Structure 1
């Protein structure tokens, strides 16, 4: 008999199912760290109502939990939430919208949901909130201080970092000449380093934009979540990344 991965987690499959049966969904809350924003997502809306799961970012986990509970209550009462529609029921005086989440993001942000369904093939909507104007993140004039509080999960599957694409990062001529990226560092000050050697020679240093690094090796996108002061490494180019 195959062992259930949820048997070894902080929550069991039975506990999740009990919440779904009782309330309509189970909500996972993820606290922020020194780099990534907080977020929350549902499990069970698809199982119980054939409705898309919901994920949202960037507010306190308490508020995110309230928003997702409100969404679950609407769905339980028979409503269907749709992408591209303004909804005034969630935040007083501010509308929210939903985006259709690209399924490639499920493994990045919804691991427990994947395990529960034993697949990543289920629909998800992202609840996106505006700034105080109110403008949404894709609209001109949106508050730039809030730009990276909400990654937009319907786009940018080839660039998942919480940075501008043209932000300067450190690498070496060896990487630019074709040697594989095996060591990645996210410094305490936010600077990124991408190297083929654990301790590269400073005389070989080069400054390039982060997007160029992702084009050299798309797999570095897997390290979008690397917190400040942490590092990642692998033995060879086709090996999985390990990180602190």
Structure 2
């Protein structure tokens, strides 16, 4: 699955049931290649090897290293939709396959290539801040949120990538700039729309309420 905003990813279904082994997820490949890689890893497991987190593997990719991270359970629901259905919402563990850049560097190593940073979010961490962007990204919110502690009820992800977190009662003069992290620190439920697409908006009635997502109408005429 891939979109203009969210990175592509593929994952296994059935490793837990068949081999009592964590499911595997990987990011950043085409749908076909992603599933080919998963099949290769499944063959390793089928042959009796248990994949472990933190170990360096050299047999998965021809000329580069790979490793695996244990997926934080708080991140599983965001990515394993079909897997959750398969296991009838029973809990299962998962490992994320991590690949290196063209210089064989992992994302946490010095000089990892910047263009690949958002192609494989690291699912062993960041459960408290799920957005792809930097924590200090300047985002638009309202004076009412900042000063009156009113809840964010509407979120807009502009086609140019800007984020707006709105209380719904703001006027143009009420718009303020804050770091994205400040919004999430006050209200972690905003993580629920971390994958809101470009030119998409989401609305809710109260904090913890169900988000309704809509593609924004482009009402600008040429």
Shorter-chain TM-score: which interval? over 0.9
Which residue of 146, 168, 178 corresponds with 1:197?
Answer: 168
Correspondence 1:172 to 2:142: yes
- The runs of 4+ residues in structure 1 deviating greater than 6 Å are none
The 2-side partners of 1:128 and 1:122 are apart by: 20
Alpha-carbon contact 1:106-1:120 (below 8 Å) kept: no
The 2-side partners of 1:239 and 1:90 are apart by: 43
Q: CA deviation at 1:60?
A: 1.4
DSSP 3-state at the match of 1:170: strand
Where does the alignment leave 5 or more consecutive residues of structure 2 unmatched?
215-222
**What's the counterpart of residue 186 of structure 2?**
216
DSSP 3-state at the match of 1:176: helix
**What's the counterpart of residue 71 of structure 1?**
41
Higher RCO (C-alpha 8 Å, min separation 6)? 2
Alpha-carbon contact 2:189-2:208 (below 8 Å) kept: no
**What's the counterpart of residue 105 of structure 2?**
135
Correspondence 1:187 to 2:170: no
**What's the counterpart of residue 81 of structure 1?**
51
Provide the alpha-carbon RMSD of the alignment: 1.0
Q: Deviations over 1:171-197 (max 9, x none)?
A: 011011200100000000000000001
Figure out how many residues of one structure are paired with residues of the other and give that number: 213
Structure having the higher helix fraction is 1
Provide the TM-score with structure 1 as the length reference: 0.85
**What's the counterpart of residue 126 of structure 1?**
96
Q: CA deviation at 1:121?
A: 1.5
Where does the alignment leave 5 or more consecutive residues of structure 1 unmatched?
1-29
The 2-side partners of 1:68 and 1:236 are apart by: 40
Q: CA deviation at 1:120?
A: 4.8
Q: CA deviation at 1:240?
A: 1.4
